[in-house]
Structure formats: C-alpha cells, structure tokens
Amino acid sequence: MMAGAVRVFPNRLSAARGLAALVARNAEACISLRERFSLVLSGGKTPREAYKLLGDEMASEIDWTYTHVFWSDERCVPYEHLDNNAKMARETLLDYVPIPMDHIHRVQSFLEPAEAAEHYQKEVLRYFESRGSVPRFDLILLGIGADGHTASLFPGTQALQEVDRLIVPNYVSSLDSWRITMTLPLLNAADHVVFYVLGEDKAETLARILSSEEADLPAARINPPRGKLTWIVDEEAASLLPKTPFQ
C-alpha cells in the first residue's frame, strides 16, 4: 500500500470543502510559522469547486498578502485559451481574493516550450532564493488522469526521466501537445502534497496507484521523503479501494 493518508468524503461537495479547509489550515500554519505560504495549484477540471469555495465563502480564511501561487503544470497555449490552467484558477479563485499580482506566478505559456520552462524555473528559484530556502513548496495540489499521469508527467514521456531540472517542457504524444511541468524532484521536495481525486472514472487508476503493484505509474512516484502525502477523494473514486475496518 502506498504511503499517505487517504481521506474519503461522501460526495464532490464535501470533498471540495475538505480540500479547501486543508488549504486554509496549511496556509495558517505556514504563515504563522514563517510569514509565507507557497501554494502550487493543479490544473484540470476537478479542483474547480474547491477553488470557487476558496474564492468565495472561504476567501477570508487565507491571508493572501503572504501567499504566493504557482502551477504544477501548464498547457502551452495562450493565456486566454480555454485549456489554460492559470485562466481557470483566475476565473474561479484568484480574481476574487486580495492577492497581489506579483504573488501570482503563471507559466508564460505563450513562449516556445523550452523558453517557457527555463523562464518558469528561474521564477521558482528566484522565489525561494530570495527567502534563503531550497525549492520546497509548502503545499502542492495534484490531480491524476485515468492513465496515471499527474501534473504533466504522462506515462512514457521524457519529463519522467528528469533528475536535475525543476521545470521542463514535455511533449505528450497521446495529446499531440506540449506541456510545461514540475518534475519529480521538485514535486517530491514538497512539505505537503495533496492529491485530489473525484469520480467513478478515476476509481480503477486510484486503486492501482494506492496498491503496491503499480509503482511505475507517474502519480505513484510522488511520495515526498521529507513531507506529507494526503489523498482527498470522494466515495466514487474510492469505490475500488480495500475497505478499512473503520469505513
């Protein structure tokens, strides 16, 4: 069984509340300890409801003046493209909270992939170096695809082999598209990684990832050695997990 605490919520809304509350608690703890909170948002559709909660009824629960936001990955599309992850986060969360513009660290996704990755890596390094820290995010939110990918680390792609760089361009042949992604070294350096997985269509993949047999799926390779790993899932996604005695 893979490490990490698995928290199963009855439905999508309660799971969204659970994720938003976890983000707020992490922010409060980090800010009271070090007067900073570095949050990495995942892309995709799943986190929309949770981001909306953080931008609406829970907006006052995070001190955004101490919070910096980054992305686990980005599609190589213009800012206003429907597939742009930062656009989704702006429209659900960031446009509704008092976060200073220079605390929002978007990937310059309109650049050539190699240039966008290099620029983003410099931005990540600048954030941590200016605070006398190694690149160790306080909280990274991730999703998974049905193929077991996470961030833009897709099975069989070059980015999975990266052991030095923090951010790389990654050509995803199954999508015939370029992505910019955080690498395993950067993701696994985090203080806390939270996977957020909802829905029946993710149940088989979640069960494979959490069982010991499928250690080679990209999402199964996320396990921060000096950090916490948490899975926030709904009952549909958890439907194929072995029932714990207390469930």
* Residue closer to ligand 6PG, measured from CB, 26 or 181: 181
**Do 190 and 140 form a contact (C-beta atoms < 8 A)?**
yes
Specify the DSSP element, H or E, that contains 80: none
Can residue 145 be called a binding residue for ligand 6PG (CB under 6 A)? yes
Considering the complex, what minimum distance in angstroms separates the CB of residue 15 from ligand 6PG?
A: 12
- Of the candidates 86, 94, 147, 155, the one whose C-alpha atom is nearest the C-alpha of residue 120 is 86
**Do 72 and 188 form a contact (C-beta atoms < 8 A)?**
no
Can residue 45 be called a binding residue for ligand 6PG (CB under 6 A)? yes
Compute how many residues bind ligand 6PG; rule: CB under 6 A.
14
With CB under 6 A as the contact rule, the residue among 55, 143, 148, 227 that binds ligand 6PG is 143
* Residue closer to ligand 6PG, measured from CB, 61 or 155: 155
Q: DSSP letter string over 146-196?
A: TTS-BTTB-TT-GGGG-SS-SEEEEEETTTTEEEEEE-HHHHTT-SEEEEE
Can residue 205 be called a binding residue for ligand 6PG (CB under 6 A)? no
With CB under 6 A as the contact rule, the residue among 151, 159, 166, 229 that binds ligand 6PG is 151
Residue 176: partners with Cβ closer than 8 Å, 6 or more residues away? none
Considering the complex, what minimum distance in angstroms separates the CB of residue 184 from ligand 6PG?
A: 14
Site residues (vs ligand 6PG, CB under 6 A): 42-46, 72-73, 85, 143, 145, 149-152
